[in-house]
Amino acid sequence: MKKTGILNRDIASVLARMGHTDTLVIADCGLPIPDGTMTIDLALTVGTPDFLSVLKAVTNHMAVEEMILAEEIKTSNLTLYNQLITDYDGIPTTYLTHESVKHDISNAKAVIRTGEATPFANVILKSGVFF
């Protein structure tokens, strides 16, 4: 049995298959996920697991070149937005409309669905390289 790192076999597998510029989405429990897009559903109850805990676990094991957020997070979820720009200050961030973010999900390797239930708690992580 694995005893360190990401224990969820589906997340560990996706991370191992990520290449430069591939994308991975971490989503709140309400984000519509296109049919055919690999979904790793971690949602247990409203708020569990929360978005930031899942994001932290994933980014500890993934080289991230860029984060893509919905522009609307800046006004509709200021608490989460401030936490993200503080915690991930070194990662370039791009902002798209929420509609554009939803459109780009279909290009992702996978979507990790959390129990988060706050507005616009979604991020597209673009894979970088560690060298």
* Catalytic residue numbers, as ranges: 20
Task: Please list the helix, strand and coil fractions of the chain in percent, rounded to the nearest 5, in that order.
Answer: 30, 25, 45
The verdict on whether residue 103 carries a ligand-binding annotation is no
Extract the tokens encoding 4: 């360190």
CB-CB contact of 4 with 103 (8 Å): no
The verdict on whether residue 98 carries a ligand-binding annotation is yes
The verdict on whether residue 120 carries a ligand-binding annotation is yes
- Nearest residue to 70 via CA among 34, 26, 21, 114: 26
Which residue numbers belong to the known binding site for substrate? 28, 98, 120-122
Annotated binding site: 28, 98, 120-122
